[in-house]
């Protein structure tokens, strides 16, 4: 084991909760202690009254760690929170697992779209979110061959609080560029992307890994933006190989 005794913290994607890791939990916990917290507002956790900012979510994670050094990972929004933890408390991060993420901040168009979605949720509620997001969250192969995964993700999205979804959209829109942060991070890093991910193109994942001196990239075939849900066995194998 490359990191004996060091727990692995995995932060969920947007707009899901800790249950997205259920399919990989048994396999990973054979090798390492696994911690999968809900981020604020998701999975029934309180949202609070703070202004939308991923550094606030990172502070929640840091408080939970209580000074304990960990391997820190996340999928999509979870990877951005992991970067925010690295920015605030690099001494707590022994290694990174970045899944379906990018180093760059949002473009103006992406930022405007996030704010538009948040505003619509404020006005209408979150009922439209699952239908709007499912096509891009999952790969074409998952949509064609894994109806149980599609249904499961729809349920996870539909069960989240609308205020939390809107808050997280605004928080992600405000996140800074992390290229310099990652370039200075001298920790082993696993970058995972889905072969059919239309939200994070291949060049974005490669660019993220290129920034980091100790990064390796794993591409999981037949998956989109949520590889741990779409191909849990393959994702587990990638993570456990990296751990060892």
Q: Give the CATH H-level superfamily of domain 8-243.
A: Alpha/Beta hydrolase fold, catalytic domain (3.40.50.1820)
User: pLDDT tens for residues 11-35?
Assistant: 999 999 999 999 999 999 999 999 9
Predicted local confidence at residue 3, as pLDDT: 80
Are the C-beta atoms of 20 and 231 separated by less than 8 Å? no
135-153 mean pLDDT: 97
Residue 2 reports pLDDT greater than 80: no
Q: What are phi and psi of 33, to 5 degrees?
A: -65, 130
Give the residue-averaged pLDDT of 197-210: 89
DSSP code at position 61: H
When pLDDT is cut at 50, 70 and 90, the band that residue 233 belongs to is very high
Q: What is the mean pLDDT of residues 50-76?
A: 97
Report, as an integer, the average pLDDT of 142-163. 98
**209 confidence band (pLDDT: 50, 70, 90):** confident
143 pLDDT more than 90: yes
**pTM for this entry:** 0.96
- Spell out where 8-122 has E strands: 8-11, 34-35, 70-75, 93-99
Model confidence at 201, in pLDDT bands (50, 70, 90)?
confident
Say if residue 62's pLDDT is above 90: yes
Give me the residue spans of the domains in the chain: 8-243
pLDDT at 204: 86
Position with higher pLDDT, 73 vs 244:
73
């Amino acid at each position: 084991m490359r990191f004996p005794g060091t727990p692995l913290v995995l932060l969920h994607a947007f707009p899901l909760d800790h249950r997205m890791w259920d399919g990989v939990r048994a396999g990973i916990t054979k090798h390492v202690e696994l911690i999968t917290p809900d981020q604020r507002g998701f999975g029934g956790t309180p949202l609070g009254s703070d202004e939308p900012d991923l550094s606030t979510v990172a502070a929640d994670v840091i408080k939970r760690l209580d000074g304990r050094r960990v391997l820190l990972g996340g999928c999509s929004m979870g990877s951005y929170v992991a970067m925010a933890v690295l920015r605030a408390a690099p001494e707590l991060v022994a290694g990174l697992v970045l899944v379906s993420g990018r180093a760059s901040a949002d473009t103006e168009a992406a930022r405007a779209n996030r704010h538009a979605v948040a505003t619509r949720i404020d006005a209408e509620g979150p009922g439209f979110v699952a239908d709007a997001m499912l096509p891009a969250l999952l790969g074409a192969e998952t949509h064609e061959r894994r109806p149980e995964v599609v249904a499961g993700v729809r349920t996870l999205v539909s069960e989240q609080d609308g205020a939390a979804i809107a808050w997280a959209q605004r928080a992600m829109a405000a996140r800074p560029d992390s290229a310099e942060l990652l370039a200075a991070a001298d920790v082993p890093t696993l970058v995972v992307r889905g072969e059919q991910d239309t939200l994070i193109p291949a060049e974005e994942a490669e660019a993220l890994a290129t920034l980091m001196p100790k990064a390796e990239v794993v591409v999981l075939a037949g998956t989109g933006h949520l590889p741990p849900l779409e191909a849990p066995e393959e994702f587990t194998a990638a993570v456990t190989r990296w751990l060892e």
